[in-house]
Amino acid sequence: MAGSFSADISKFITKTGANIDQALRQTVVLASQGVVLNTPVLTGRLRANWQFGRVLPGGEVDGVDTSGAATIAKIAGQVTSLKAGGECWIVNNLPYAGEIEYGHSSVKAPSGMVRVTLAGLPAAIEQYVRGLQ
């Protein structure tokens, strides 16, 4: 899968004329949209707790976000000056996030949030690139 993902990023850069920094920023935005929108909602606390950082974010977010829009917008705002190189993280530090990812929510998120997003990320990148043409 890693080779396929790298090929998708290379295709993204070639088709759009984007540089690697732009490709990275858009990939992070697409990944954050995926994990946030694939997160099941009861109160909105789990959705609100997706965080982005160049270093591993710690702690929990105090608040709720039932639609996911505020969380996605926050992450999109954090990546505007992101440059390639080093690590970047999209994490959810709530204690039950792992349980939801690995089957606790068999009705609302039977295949998790992150795993579904990663599986669909190459197609999301391709769709984004098609929209630019």
Binning the chain into helix, strand and coil, the percentages to the nearest 5 are 55, 5, 40
Indicate the pLDDT class of residue 131, thresholds 50, 70 and 90: confident
pLDDT above 60 for 2: no
What pLDDT, on the 0 to 100 scale, is given for residue 133? 63
How many independent structural domains does the chain possess?
1
pLDDT above 70 for 1: no
DSSP string over 57-90: --S---S--SSSHHHHHHHHHHTTT--SSS--EE
- Please say whether the beta carbons of 40 and 109 come within 8 A: yes
The parent domain of residue 119 ranges over 2-132
72-128 pLDDT, tens digit each = 999 999 999 998 888 999 999 999 999 999 977 666 777 899 999 999 999 888 887
What pLDDT, on the 0 to 100 scale, is given for residue 92? 98
23-46 pLDDT, tens digit each = 889 999 999 999 999 999 999 999
What pLDDT, on the 0 to 100 scale, is given for residue 16? 64
Q: What angle is formed at CA 124 by the lines to CA 89 and CA 56, rounded to 5 degrees?
A: 5
CB atoms within 10 A of CB 38: 20
Mean pLDDT of all residues in 60-72: 97
